[in-house]
Amino acid sequence: MNANSRILLAHGAGGRLTHELITSLFVRCFDNAPLAALDDSAELTLPCGDRLAFTTDAYVVQPIEFPGGDIGRLAVCGTVNDLATKGARPIGISAAMILEEGLDRATLERIVRSMSAAAKEAGVELVTGDTKVVERGAATSLYIATAGIGVIAPGINLSGRNARAGDAVIVSGTLGDHGITVMNARQNLGFEGDIRSDAAPLNGLVDHMLSAASSVHVIRDLTRGGLATALNEIAASSGVRVEIEEEVVPVRNSVLAGCQMLGLDPLYVANEGKIVAFVEAGRAEAVLSAMRDHPYGRDAIRIGSVVSGEPGVILKTPIGGARRLLMLDGDPLPRIC
């Protein structure tokens, strides 16, 4: 069997195959500089010289409602976050709703109200949209495709290509909450207690960071593929070596227990309200304290640095060992051995 001859679920899992598909097909065929940057949103320059961030995203999560969020909140937050990681102030979002024939009207209303609430929280409006209904079975309840536009203020230049030797690596909070929550709901794992999705709009948090220092080089939101995949993308784009300390990476006990039970590594589990930032080391403390002043950055912590050496990501373990951290391979599945 040739893994490259057909599209597999793993091509959509946000890991190595996704990355390969994007670079070897989309980037090559569409061939332009804003796309080739492979950031969460493209940077476009208007004739007057002002810069826009432009992003699009599709949401197909199952189930559509889960503790801490739903597909609507996810769609708005994900779009806002893709703009925010370029340092852009979101000015408008679109939403195309693909509905399955027979979808419960009350469910749709809940999702739409949740989108509205998330937009209000982020201070952005849903200004245009589209509605399609497909035959029962052609979609599962509902899918949402969004686009978002934001304005990048002069002087702000955030990109995955900007990491430099000496940078401090910071995460905004605990990892894996969203992925474990959704996996529990999807696979009926029967987990209860302290697990909920972290879905949140992070533009306010990014504002705090950027006002604290102009020395923020990279911000990336940690979605599918988790921290490990995001760090690998940044290390590759910037051509740098990233070293992180396993012991300081924040993970909730409940999420860690869920990961251990299912044989998953929290470094590869999805988040929807967390970012990783690369910041000039001298300003790291200032940025951290600005982050901790924001409700979505209270657990922000420095987890590592950019060091000299061959590009890649190295994880230093609590017992003094070190190992290479690779991108997500395939789709994480619960396992017992």
Partner 1 sequence: MCLAIPGKILTREGQTGRVDFGGLIRQAALDLVPDAAIGDVVLVHAGFAIQKVDLSMEPEIAERLGVSC
Partner 2 sequence: MLMKNSAGAVAALRRAPEFAREVLGDIRQLSERACRRTGRDTVQIMEVCGTHTMSFAQSGLRGLLPDTVRLLSGPGCPVCVTTAADVDRTVWLAHQPGVTLTTFGDMLKVPGSTGSLADASASGADVRVVYSPADALDLAAALPDREVVFLGVGFETTAPLVAATLLRACETGVRNFSVFPLFKLVPPALRAILAGRSHQNDGFVLPGHVSAIIGLAPYSFVADEFGVPGVIAGFEPFDLLEAVRLLLNLVTEEPARIAIQYTRGVPSGGNPAALRMLAESFDPCEAVWRAVGAIAESGLAFKKHLAEFDAARKFPGMPACDAPEPKGCLCGAILMGRALPADCRHFGTTCTPETAVGPCMVSSEGACAAAYKYGFTETSRWKKFGRPRKEATAP
Residue 68 binds partner 2 (CB under 8 A): no
- Report whether the peptide linkage leading into residue 90 is cis, meaning its omega lies within 30 degrees of zero: no
Contact string (CB under 8 A) for partner 1, positions 141-180, x = contact: ----------------------------------------
Q: What is the DSSP string of 82-107?
A: HHHTTTEEEEEEEEEEEEETT--HHH
Choose one: 30-38, 123-131, 158-166, 318-326; the region binding partner 2 (CB under 8 A). Answer: 318-326
Closest CA to 244 of 156, 313, 331: 313
CB atoms within 10 A of CB 308: 8
Choose the contact partner of 320 out of partner 2, partner 1, none; CB within 5 to 8 A by kind: partner 2
Choose the contact partner of 324 out of partner 1, partner 2, none; CB within 5 to 8 A by kind: partner 2
Residue 335 binds partner 1 (CB under 8 A): yes
Task: Please return the burial class of 128, using the count of CB atoms within 10 Å of its CB with bins 0-12, 13-18 and 19+.
Answer: exposed
Would you say 31 or 192 has its CB closer to partner 2?
192
Would you say 113 or 323 has its CB closer to partner 2?
323
Residue 36 binds partner 2 (CB under 8 A): no
- Residues forming a β-bridge with 59: 144
How many residues contact partner 2, by CB under 8 A?
49
Task: Please return the burial class of 283, using the count of CB atoms within 10 Å of its CB with bins 0-12, 13-18 and 19+.
Answer: middle
Q: Restricting to residues 194-253, name those near partner 2 by CB under 8 A.
A: 194, 246-253
CB atoms within 10 A of CB 58: 13
Among 35, 112, 251, 261, binds partner 1 (CB under 8 A): 261
Torsion over CA: 69, 222, 297, 196 (sign)? positive
Task: Please return the burial class of 207, using the count of CB atoms within 10 Å of its CB with bins 0-12, 13-18 and 19+.
Answer: middle
Would you say 196 or 283 has its CB closer to partner 1?
196
For residue 22, the 8-state DSSP code is I
Residue 47 binds partner 1 (CB under 8 A): no
Choose the contact partner of 257 out of partner 1, partner 2, none; CB within 5 to 8 A by kind: partner 1
Contact string (CB under 8 A) for partner 1, positions 187-206, x = contact: --xxxxxxx-----------
Q: Restricting to residues 256-315, name those near partner 2 by CB under 8 A.
A: 256, 261-263, 265-266, 299, 301, 314-315
Q: How far is the CA of 255 from the CAs of 222, 258, 276, 328, in angstroms? A: 16, 5, 19, 18
Q: How far is the CA of 132 from the CAs of 36, 75, 127, in angstroms? A: 31, 17, 17
Residue 21 binds partner 2 (CB under 8 A): no
Q: Which residues bind partner 1 (CB under 8 A)?
A: 189-195, 252-258, 260-263, 335-337
